[in-house]
Structure 1
Amino acid sequence: MNFPTKFRLSLMMFLEFFVWGSWYVTMGTFLGNNLLAKDQDISLAFSTQSFGAIIAPFIVGLIADRYFHAQRILGVIHLIGAGLMYLLYSSTDFSEFFPVLLFYMILFMPTLALVNSISFNQMKNPEKEFSVIRIWGTIGWVAAGFLISSLAWDSQSGLTEGLLKNTWIMASAVSVVLGLYSFTLPSTPPRAKTSGEFKLSEALGLDALALLKHRNYAIFFLSSILICIPLAFYYQNASPFLTEIGLENSTGKMALGQVSEVLFLLALPIFFSRFGLKKTLIVAMLAWAIRYVFFAFGDADSGVWMLLVGIALHGVCYDFFFVSGQIYTDSHAGEKFKSSAQGLITLATYGIGMLIGFWAAGQISNFYLQIDGSHQWNSIWLIPSGISLLVLLFFISFFKEEKVKPQP
């Protein structure tokens, strides 16, 4: 892959994850502070990601693998998304906010599979090339977090003045830029051939479900669902947790997790080739269990180092599991259904697994809500740590080591 193509794909990833990172990390804090939402409301808001991810394979399978160029779909979605972000900025209560967010996430979640598909379409060896492109998505997320904290939108004074709502305007503006830029990306035409006879299973991208006939991939798919249950606790609770215990510039500090993503993305190709897929995924799941133990016993004073280490472990958790899983999925997808296969793993992770996780996190957070409005956070964090260990034991027991063979 030549440098101009690398640059174009890297900028696409940067903008894609800048848009998401502009509002996602702080949404729980925003809802509680600006719209006075309850724990169950915040859980419901985060669940929109899962509903979008569950629908994503059908949208991607229908339009990207069979009928339309992926880069054009990406552009249209982000232009529409920019308008929806502005409506979220204008919302004054949760009942007005929620349906707009749901519609936005149904549109946005397929773009995670689309940017992967556009990238893989230009690669001859994804195992080595994809990390270099994907790392710019992480940098985009970090840039959004640092910008929010540098503008003090998430500070105590910023929260008092309601400045956190500006994250939605920032996301809207960058969505416009990405929407227009998408039409200039490398051409990614549909791969699957259409025949005269219409088949609903093909149109909805259900042919990618054939991947589950492979026993090892089915174990990986199930493990992906299960490990995303504890992951949802981090996305939903981390920002409110750090804000509640009094950690200043929490959004900027949470961006340390993405800084570690950059480092571990660079290390991933070496670790992946030396130790193989199974050991890479095992390290990721073990890191999940450890990070929640650090959260359970850390605090904003002498134990702040435990919080920072827990945040920094995000790079291992995310890169070694999600990016490895995307590469593994691409290796099994074959030529015809690359986009819908990425949509399938999006369904497993951001969809089914996190939908269960967000619901569980909301219920558990509410259960450990105290009379003064604070939470018993050590009890809350030990639960996802235990779940992570159980998933790890399941994966070690049933998944057999497999060499990943890149597809053309």
Structure 2
Amino acid sequence: MQTSHIKLRLTVMNFLQFAVWGAYLTSMGRYLASAGFAEHIGSFYAMQGIVSLFMPALMGIVADRWVPAQRLLGICHLLAGGLMFGLYFYTQSSSTLDYGTLFALYTLSVAFYMPTLALSNSVAYTSLEQAGMDLVKSFPPIRVFGTVGFICTMISVSLLGVESTSGQFAVSATIGLIQALYSWTLPHCPTAPKGESKGLVEALGLRAFVLFRQRKMALFFVFSMLLGVSLQITNGFANPFINTFGEIPAYAETFGVKYANILISLSQLSETLCILLIPFALRRFGIKNVMLIAMVAWVLRFGLLGLGDPGSGVWLFLLSMIVYGVAFDFFNVSGSLFVDKETDPSIRSSAQGLFMIMTNGIGATLGSLGAQAVVNHYVYSEHDAHAMLAGWSVSWYIFAAYAAVVALLFALLFRYKGDVAEA
């Protein structure tokens, strides 16, 4: 099979993979608020972290032992997309929405979607290796199109006018079903030979818990969890925050209020561009300082949202979107490299799994629930738009203060001499 052909096919796969997610991840909070579930936004985003604790590992075992990865990828997308369509049709057919039904359909959908993030990587790695290509050189340009897909559906949802409606779920479901059909046409990924597949303990990253015996690694994983708290906050609450300005006549017709998703999509564009800065930053500053830069960037991300508005202060929003790329990419990539450098090869995969559990699992779940409690107290306890916006500012400052404390503690407590820059 020609290398250019396989690269194109994997590029399409990655584009669709993240387009499914981009259709609702940053706008679902706005819909939930408009549907009367503003006080439950955090629980929806927390569920992504909860299912990420075990579903990717379970589906990974299935792909290792019984069902080829490309077929399982299709099955998971079929189920996730079907359930997402069920969620959409429920919102359209019911005059009074029940939180339990809405939440159950969403939970089941994301339970099958989240494993596809790892499965799509497995399909890409296996296909590239079978074609004799270098993963380090070949995969990043392919993966970038995943972010492009995410941005495209964010913008599409905004232009279609479904940011504040359940129509975003229909968009996601449609793309998911297309991905399901497309997945079954991808190159075959053989299951592992008998006796070589991962067990549940290894798949869940549990073997790597022995690393907590080392002070350096224990501190790293604790700080990974503490930083992970910040990961989903703006995904869940930035859009409903900006939408609140729409209740103030001076801001109602601003671009940011009318097309909040397009404004927020600049964060993902920044993320794509900041990936290119990582090699330079690592060489110049070292792993620890790059992780610290990411933590400081989270302070700016939240603080700038608290200071800005979609009118004359929109430039502060723009700066917040720009620093998001540094905040998100720098810690995720440098943290992953740190794990790779500091762990024995025999538990390296488990250690990477543990890193993901601490950040995107436990950390993101606690962050979504904690942020919801803060927003409920300062924002949704108010009924006047001006009072709500004041509450939003206080909330963003609290999130910024939290990130600042984490950054300060990290700078003081975490010691790492593995970088040339720190030697």
**TM range, smaller chain:** 0.7 to 0.9
Query: Aligned Cα RMSD in Å?
Result: 3.1
Question: Compared with structure 1, are the counterparts of its residues 206 and 186 closer, same or farther at alpha carbon in structure 2 (3 Å cutoff)?
Answer: farther
1:304 maps to: 314
Residue aligning to 1:146? 155
Quick one: distance in 1 between partners of 2:193 and 2:205? 10
Alpha-carbon deviation of 1:134? 2.4
Q: Secondary structure at the match of 1:177?
A: helix
Q: In the alignment, what sits opposite 2:250?
A: none
2:108 alignment partner, one of 91, 100, 103: 103
Once residues 214 and 122 of structure 2 are traced to their aligned partners in structure 1, the CA distance between those partners, rounded to angstroms, is 22
For residue 360 of structure 1, report the CA deviation from its aligned partner.
0.8
Residue by residue over 1:104-136, the C-alpha shift from the partner in whole angstroms, topping out at 9 and shown as x without a partner, is 222222222223344445478666554323211
Identify which of 353, 373, 379 aligns with 2:394. 379
Q: Which residue of 1 aligns with 2:328?
A: 318
The TM-score with structure 2 as length reference comes to: 0.82
* Aligned partner of 1:287 among 290, 297, 318: 297
Deviations 1:306-331 (A, max 9, x none): 01110222211222222444455566
- Partners of 1:210 and 1:231 in 2: how far apart? 26
Distance 1:336 1:64 in 2: 20
Between the aligned partners of 1:344 and 1:312, the Cα distance in structure 2 is 29
Q: Tell me if the contact between 2:207 and 2:347 (Cα under 8 Å) persists in the aligned partners.
A: no
**Structure showing greater Rg:** 2
1:398 alignment counterpart:
414
| Between 353-362 and 316-325, the greater mean CA deviation after superposition | 316-325
The answer to whether the Cα contact below 8 Å between 2:73 and 2:119 also exists between their aligned partners in 1 is: yes
Unaligned runs of 5+ in 1: none
Comparing 110-119 and 240-249, the one that deviates more: 110-119
- Identify the residue that residue 352 of structure 1 maps to in structure 2: 362
Match of 1:244 in 2: 244
Structure 2, unpaired ranges of 5+: 92-96, 247-256
Are 1:17 and 1:141, in contact at CA under 8 Å, matched by a contact in 2? yes
Is 1:22–1:168's contact at 8 Å kept on the other side of the alignment?
A: yes
CA shift digits 1:29-58 (9 cap, x unpaired) = 11111x21132x212111111111112353
1:75 and 2:74 are equivalent in the alignment: yes
Alignment CA distance shift 1:105-1:217 (3 Å):
farther
Question: Aligned pair in 2 of structure 1 residues 203, 235: CA closer, same or farther (>3 Å)?
Answer: closer
- How many positions carry a matched residue from both structures? 392
Asked whether the 8 Å contact 2:58–2:203 carries over to 1, the reply is: no
Partner of 2:175: 174
- State the TM-score, normalizing by the size of structure 1: 0.85
Alignment match, 2:58 = 59
Structure 1 residue 82: deviation in Å? 1.1
TM-superposed deviation, 1:193? 5.8
User: For 1:185, what is the secondary structure of its paired residue?
Assistant: coil
1:132 maps to which residue?
Answer: 141
Give the equivalent residue in structure 1 for 2:44: 45
C-alpha distance in structure 2 between counterparts of 1:182 and 1:72, whole Å: 7
1:255 alignment partner, SS class = helix
Q: Quote the residue 2:13 is aligned against.
A: 12
**Displacement after TM superposition at 1:270 (Å):** 3.5
> Which of 1 and 2 has higher RCO (CA within 8 Å, sep 6+)?
1
Aligned with residue 366 of structure 1, among 376, 386, 390: 376
* Alpha-carbon displacement from aligned partner over 1:150-180 (angstroms, at most 9, x marks no partner): 22333xxxx5xxxx22111111111112112
Does the 8 A contact of 2:291 with 2:334 survive in 1? yes
Judged with a 3 Å threshold, the aligned counterparts in structure 2 of structure 1 residues 62 and 177 are, in CA distance, closer, same or farther, namely same
The more displaced of 121-130 and 224-233 is 121-130
Give distance in 2, aligned partners of 1:179 and 1:95. 27
Q: Displacement of 1:230 after TM fit?
A: 2.4
Question: Judging changes above 3 Å, is the alpha-carbon distance between structure 1 residues 173 and 393 closer, same or farther for their aligned structure 2 residues?
Answer: same
Structure 1's consecutive aligned runs of 4 or more residues displaced over 6 angstroms after TM superposition are: none
5 Å matches for 1:182-221? 182-190=183-191, 194=195, 201-202=201-202, 206-207=206-207, 209=209, 216-221=216-221
Cα distance, 1:169–1:74 mapped onto 2, change above 3 Å: same
Overall identity of the aligned pairs, in %? 34
Distance 1:183 1:211 in 2: 39
Aligned partner of 2:85 in structure 1 is 86
**Structure 1 residues 223 and 4 mapped into 2: Cα distance closer, same or farther (>3 Å)?**
farther
